[in-house]
Chains A and B, each alone.
Chain A
Amino acid sequence: MSQILVRRLLLVIPTLLVVSIISFTIMRAAPGDPVQMYVAGGLSKGSPEDIERIRENLGLNESLPVQYLRWLGQAVQGNLGYSISSHRPVTELIRERLPASLSLMGISFLLSMTIGITVGALAAVKQYSVFDYSTTTIAVLGNALPSFWIGMILIWVFAVQLGWLPTGQMQSFMPRDPVWLDTTKHFILPVFVTAFVSLIYWVRYQRASLLEVLHQDYIRTARAKGLGERRIILRHAWRNSLIPIVTLVGFSVANLVAGSYVIEVVFSWPGMAQFGFEAILKRDYPVIMGVTIVSSLFIIFGNLLADLAYIVVNPQVAAK
């Protein structure tokens, strides 16, 4: 167990290194640099000498490996540099944006997990019933429809036609409702979309694994010795059927930041996606690197969590 843990933890470092090198390379292969974007945006006229001086000050004139190593040297000390466009520390900017993404995905994760597990378990218990067919069909639909399209349709119905909910953002500029109600209203649609899209995985996993467990011998034994059906399912079958589900929890954690990019764009959500998207357009290198690294940190630790949780609940794996 601890051996596996150590081996997986050791892999985190090279993974982060490779991720940062890949994104650094792709980013710097892009035409244009932040200074050009700044000038082209009409924000400053600047003579060629000025531009050259700014480049020099930002360290953009050094060779790429040197620039990367300098970034790396600071990053390992927890300093992700300064945003070129706003001159503020990247870590501070990310800290401002992260809660919006995390709260959106966190709430939707809890919601789709609870609903998905309940629905999946019921569908398995009542296999081939109307409930089974209808819920599985709805879950399949949720996976086939592009999330941004569901988001648009919901905006059209609930915000444009009915006017019940806001079209986007996390808070109104001048809220008419108390702040908590206003914020809740803003959360409803994006949470619904992100939860609906991932619902299918929970339903599928829970349904399949509970069905598998229900066909095992010890369940027949439990029935044979006269235990009640409710007790058999809740105490004996369901608990064991949760083993594969645990992996899914890890993957959801991996998705906490990177999973909602499109939905954030559709709902103008003030999270990491908008922030990263703007940074790409402005060629704000330190911010792009920061967003990539933070997103991959979540992915890496989510995957790690999935593996470890699986080993914890399933000792057979560790024994191998």
Chain B
Amino acid sequence: MATAALTSVSGHRQLRATERSLLLRAWDLFSRNRLACLGLAFLIILGLAALFAPLVAPYDPNAIDLQPEGVLQPPSLAHPFGTDELGRDGFSRALFGARISLTVGFIATAVAVSLGVLVGATAGMAGGWVDSFLMRTVDILLSVPLFFLIMISQIIFPPSIYTIMIIIGVASWMDIARLTRGEFLNLRAAEFVSAANVIGMGARRIAWRHILPNASGPIIVAATLRIAEAIILESTLSFIGLGIQPPHASLGSMLQKGLTRLLDAPWMVWFPGLLIALTVLAFNFVGDGIRDALDPKQLR
């Protein structure tokens, strides 16, 4: 949203834009947004580096080097991100940490979007008491002190990467549901839906084949921003010791370690934090870019 200010959208539009597919046109608009492209490029590089971390990382992230010249080394050519108190390479650990943080962000968001779209679409299509019931449930769940309940849940379930993904996903589908319902309510009145109705198409098919693709723009934007939020939430939980557990390390749990070493090894805090910040920023820019690219007002 705020980046709308940073987004410099040049005024001229080609007329032939209408001849091409909608997707190409959206890509055209997106690619003119420099920040969004920068964010996308960063995410692609980080994503690839994280995906191929075993190949890219210069060291084994868990290789311990307890010699005095290996422990708590400040950043250098051999160790661009320094080393930690066990002599492990900060750069390799950050790559593997980013791998976990990104996975958690994506899967948690996938869970949230599936639940949200399911509930929102059901409410929007059904209307009546089903709609009121589902939406009051959403209202109520939004009044739950979520972070506190997530803390409790993390203590109940055996801590693993999977539980944290599911817990974050289950805790954050509500606004996606609201958004989807709103889109469905609007589109249900559209003429192409009446047309589909008239030719006797079932409600389920109309919902998934005709309404959902048209409602997907705002949902994709919300999902992109939600990935960023999920990454922050995961790092926060890991930071207070309730998230990813050793031997796995996410960027957040690296920060937790770093806090105890703030005095003699501040680089253990700088780099993972910076990486989280850049990732979150990149997702925000990309989300804003998609929003602007799909906004029909931009086509005037």
Which A residues form the contact surface with B (CB < 8 A)?
11, 14-15, 18-19, 22-23, 26-27, 29-31, 123, 127-128, 132-133, 136-137, 139-141, 143-149, 152-153, 155-156, 160, 200, 203-204, 207-208, 257-258, 261-262, 265, 276-277, 280-281, 288, 291-292, 295-296, 299-300, 303
Contact partner of B155 (CB less than 8 A), chosen from A30, A137, A155, A265, is A30
Known: A18-B140, A149-B255, A265-B240. A23 touches B273 (CB 8 A): no
Whole-angstrom CA separation of A258 from B151 in the bound complex: 12
Known: A29-B156, A133-B5, A207-B5. A153 touches B143 (CB 8 A): no
Which residues of A sit under 8 angstroms from B2, Cβ to Cβ? Answer: 136, 139-140, 200, 203-204, 207
Which residues of B sit under 8 angstroms from A292, Cβ to Cβ? Answer: 144-145, 148-149
Contact partner of A156 (CB less than 8 A), chosen from B3, B139, B140, B262, is B262
Asked if A204 contacts B147 (CB within 8 A), the reply is no
Interface size on B, residues (CB 8 A): 42
The 7 A-B pairs at the shortest CB distance, nearest first, are namely: A295-B145, A149-B273, A30-B156, A144-B280, A144-B281, A258-B145, A145-B277
What is the CB-to-nearest-CB distance from B156 to chain A, in angstroms, rounded to a whole number?
4
Asked if B266 contacts A156 (CB within 8 A), the reply is yes
Whole-angstrom CA separation of A88 from B263 in the bound complex: 39
Nearest B residue to A159, CB-CB: B262
Contact partner of A277 (CB less than 8 A), chosen from B151, B239, B259, is B151
Contact partner of B262 (CB less than 8 A), chosen from A30, A146, A152, A277, is A152
| Interface residue B284 (Cβ < 8 Å from any Cβ of A) | yes
Contact partner of A19 (CB less than 8 A), chosen from B3, B5, B143, is B143
Asked if A276 contacts B235 (CB within 8 A), the reply is no
| Interface residue B153 (Cβ < 8 Å from any Cβ of A) | yes
| Interface residue B136 (Cβ < 8 Å from any Cβ of A) | yes
**Prevailing SS type, chain B contact patch:** helix
Which residues of B sit under 8 angstroms from A11, Cβ to Cβ? Answer: 136, 139
What is the CB-to-nearest-CB distance from A27 to chain B, in angstroms, rounded to a whole number?
6
Known: A160-B262, A207-B5. A146 touches B235 (CB 8 A): yes
What is the CB-to-nearest-CB distance from B287 to chain A, in angstroms, rounded to a whole number?
12
Contact partner of B152 (CB less than 8 A), chosen from A147, A208, A288, A295, is A288
| Interface residue B112 (Cβ < 8 Å from any Cβ of A) | no
Contact partner of B5 (CB less than 8 A), chosen from A132, A153, A288, is A132
What is the CB-to-nearest-CB distance from B160 to chain A, in angstroms, rounded to a whole number?
15
Which residues of B sit under 8 angstroms from A280, Cβ to Cβ? Answer: 151-152, 155
What is the CB-to-nearest-CB distance from B203 to chain A, in angstroms, rounded to a whole number?
28
Asked if B152 contacts A15 (CB within 8 A), the reply is no
Q: In the complex, how many residue pairs between chain A and chain B have their CB atoms under 8 Å apart?
A: 136
| Interface residue B164 (Cβ < 8 Å from any Cβ of A) | no
Asked if B155 contacts A152 (CB within 8 A), the reply is no
Most B C-beta atoms less than 10 A away, residue of A18, A127, A257:
A18
Which residues of B sit under 8 angstroms from A261, Cβ to Cβ? Answer: 147-148, 151
Which residues of B sit under 8 angstroms from A291, Cβ to Cβ? Answer: 148
Asked if B151 contacts A153 (CB within 8 A), the reply is no
Whole-angstrom CA separation of A140 from B287 in the bound complex: 13
Q: Which of B150-203 touch A at CB < 8 Å?
A: 151-153, 155-156
What is the CB-to-nearest-CB distance from B167 to chain A, in angstroms, rounded to a whole number?
10
A-B contact pairs, 24 of them (CB 8 A): A14-B136, A14-B140, A15-B139, A18-B140, A19-B143, A22-B144, A23-B149, A26-B153, A26-B156, A27-B152, A136-B5, A140-B3, A145-B277, A146-B235, A146-B277, A152-B259, A152-B269, A156-B266, A156-B269, A204-B2, A262-B240, A276-B151, A277-B240, A303-B142
